[in-house]
Amino acid sequence: MAHTHSESNDNRTRLLMAFLVTVVFMVAEVAGGLISGSLALLADAGHMLTDTAALLMALLAVQFARRKPNAQHTFGLLRLTTLAAFVNAIALLVITILIVWEAVRRFMHPEPVAGGFMLIIAIGGLLANILSFWLLHRGSEEKNLNVRAAALHVLGDLLGSVGAIIAAVIIMLTGWTPVDPILSVLVSLLVLRSAWGLMKESIHELLEGAPTSVDVEKLKLALTRGIPEVRNVHHIHLWQVGEKPVMTLHVQVIPPYDHDALLHRIHDYLHQHYQIAHATVQMEYQHCDNSDCALGQSNAEHQHPTHAHH
């Protein structure tokens, strides 16, 4: 538990530092974009604006996730991190549409762009994004959907800054201003792909989808093969709260000599092979008919009310 707490603090510190870096350079890019007349810079500032919102929501989500469970929220507020990731994905999609819309208008009616000034601001933005991405990427982002959401935003910015630098150099060398909106669209499309993936993942979790890392059918088979006393596994429900997989299942077993020892082995197996630390196992000694085991039925539970929580 101490490890999780320190990990949470680590994520929060990194998010806060990335937030402060992003806010400072967002203001610089808005000013730079308006002064130089560059859409690519304004597009990058637009991404940075969603970044600051993303990072702020991520910070709030990490803070709320630390709250202990209570009678109203028995899992605590872990789902806030998933909700924040979902909102972040929508914000990215909206800002991308706005940038593409403005780019089309700019392409049809080119506007003058101050390439030199644009280049200086774009390089500053790139350095800020590299720093923010490094801060976030060193956190536990593989396990935390929310920190990964924030890192995706910053990665989009990083690509945006590279695009702005390329556009600035081309404008300085050739004076061809349409490259500015063209590159802003290309960067937006790259970000769109990431945002779409993030949205699908967060919706899957919000709709109580099983973690993609666990194949329920294979788990049933593995449990019957891995523990000889287990004859049948059914009525499985598997979902995810924050980064924590949660499971309920019925297990038909040969009546054990030591009930608690067998239950402990089942929990250990789920934890070791599937990283499921929170499982509610109902052990049954008779074959469970489908009608008894259907969701909403309680016959089997009345006959064999052996519930165990871990």
Query: Domains along the chain?
Result: 2-206 (1.20.1510.10), 216-309 (3.30.70.1350)
Q: Which amino acid is at 223?
A: L
Give the DSSP letter of residue 216.
H
Closest CA to 86 of 202, 240, 221, 236: 202
If one compares 2 and 177, the residue with the highest pLDDT of the two is 177
Please give the full DSSP string across 128-192, using - where no structure is assigned.
Answer: HHHHHHHHHHTSSTTT-HHHHHHHHHHHHHHHHHHHHHHHHHHHHHH--TTHHHHHHHHHHHHHH
Say which range, 106-110, 184-188, 255-259, has the weakest mean pLDDT: 184-188
Overall pTM surpassing 0.85 (yes/no): no
Question: Residue 296 above 60 pLDDT?
Answer: no
pLDDT given at position 106: 84
pLDDT given at position 306: 45
